[in-house]
A and B are shown apart, each in its own frame.
Chain A
């Protein structure tokens, strides 16, 4: 009897701890976010020195990876951008661009960051991209990785000692404490995840502040989240699924909705009335112009029509063009639902009305016309394709068709 009452009490305490650990995090204020490091930062603490030594090897490996996009102009552009929103460490941070068609960016403990090409695809302007880079800079400026490591070390130490102590005490008193230890372990894990979410919230707040200080509209970060939420929803809807909503207790990041809401409030706080903020859209578009076709192509080939279509439509908020129309048609053609062939044919036809239609738009326009039996028009489209891309891999084949 005594035994069960004790376990009940213990279980209740553990559960209470777990619940507190999982409670929603309060917003971190941008004004509270001072950088914790200055220029030319070098670690002096033993654990951080060890971490930096390992990371030097990681960076060396990464810098030679064949996933990286080496285009010097584009890399210079990104370097200038992190130079603008990197706060005191702007000159110390390194930025790498990897060809991975996903929405992501990662900051490593020693101040190098990897931007995924899928991020460049989704950003509508320079301010949005600068917002993500500012968030990543925030992780470095606030020393997040080492703080998280220390948090984990302390919590696992405390857990190990408590579990062993409880076991021995329980052994002496003749009580089995295994269940209690398991519950405490659960609480430890939850509190680790919570700490991670706090750090993400810090990076968001720090990012908003850096963004505004650099003269970009601080609302850009909230816009990015709004775009991502719509994309995730559309992607799930197409697959007749619901977007993963198991953020909360077990996630390492706060939910997109709460991040968006917090980012909006924070943006309002740091906005200076009367100041004109830049979105740098023209600069952004000219920087990514050489790779934009490739970015869209990589996304379309992921076979995620819900997401791809939303991305194209989001980019088209700033105006349709031949490139976007062409990839919209590609999404339909590859989706291949009933009626999609006709939809794609119309899409290619619409794309070639724009002066900036890519050669492939003319090619596919020709293919669709040929299928429909409109041979003369198809030939005209093919001729245009060959004129634009005389060295295309299939050029001899198309020439043969024209004869």
Chain B
């Protein structure tokens, strides 16, 4: 009886912990390679701590460290692909383009990105977009930015991470210990990452590639890479941007030539 209970508990632990990514691409998307110029829009990073009661408390120091680590990891990763990267750390960091233009493009992307999240990830699929890969655009504003800045692509990044406090871990231990007396709460949850990356082709204005990364565990205290450390940040960048798949048409053409 006791052994069975532990087996069930272990299965629950395994099932409830996961790392997930799901990417979509424009049908004609070929991952950038060679000598391309990538503009990374100011990354939106927040890191917090999960309180015993389950609230996420933002931590300024962790957020700063994580942001710096992610930027460093991104530079290293893109350099490996041969791209020239310009990272916008402030809205007025691009010569010849004012902060308001960048802000408007960020807001536009937020609206378009939310629409992608809704219709590609949250289940509200659109019949008109079926079989079309990723069919969203930022339009003329993005093309204008490309022309002004001379950049080929813009990358929008958002990352959230949270870590459980000792209090929450203790609560989790109590929940698992309770299994011995018949009150089993093995997965109270807390902590985990949520991130997305969105690549916009500044020559056409189209969103050509989109990826969402989610890691989390329903068991408090299990970690999946800590973006407060350089290694953890590199893992997140790799998970998010490492395996960019080409779009449907490009993939078919590749297969045909083989």
Binding site for B on A (CB under 8 A): 46-47, 49-54, 64, 149, 152-153, 155-161, 164-165, 167-168, 170-172, 174
Contact = CB atoms under 8 A, between A and B. Distances in A.
Interface residues of B, number: 26
Contacts of B103: 64
A50 B185 contact: no
Contacts of B51: 153, 156-157
B183 A46 contact: no
Q: Which 9 A-B pairs have the closest CB atoms?
A: A156-B53, A171-B183, A50-B58, A157-B52, A53-B60, A168-B178, A171-B181, A157-B53, A172-B181
B59 interface: yes
B53 A53 contact: no
The dominant DSSP class at the A interface is helix
Contacts of B54: 156, 160
Given A64-B100, A64-B103, A165-B174, A160 B57 contact: no
A280 B177 CA distance: 67
A160 B60 contact: no
Contacts, number: 69
A157 B181 contact: no
A171 B48 contact: no
Contacts of A47: 57
B218 interface: no
A160 B52 contact: yes
B23 interface: no
Contacts of A157: 51-53, 167
A168 B177 contact: yes
A161 B48 CA distance: 21
Nearest to A150: B57
Contacts of A171: 178, 181-183
A164 B185 contact: yes
26 contacts: A46-B61, A49-B61, A50-B57, A50-B58, A50-B60, A50-B63, A54-B46, A153-B51, A153-B53, A156-B51, A156-B52, A156-B53, A156-B54, A157-B51, A160-B52, A160-B54, A161-B52, A164-B178, A164-B185, A165-B174, A167-B185, A168-B177, A168-B181, A171-B182, A172-B181, A174-B182
B53 A159 contact: yes
B178 A167 contact: yes
Contacts of A53: 58, 60, 63
A51 B228 CA distance: 19
Interface in B57-75: 57-61, 63
Contacts of A52: 60
Nearest to B175: A164
A53 B175 CA distance: 34
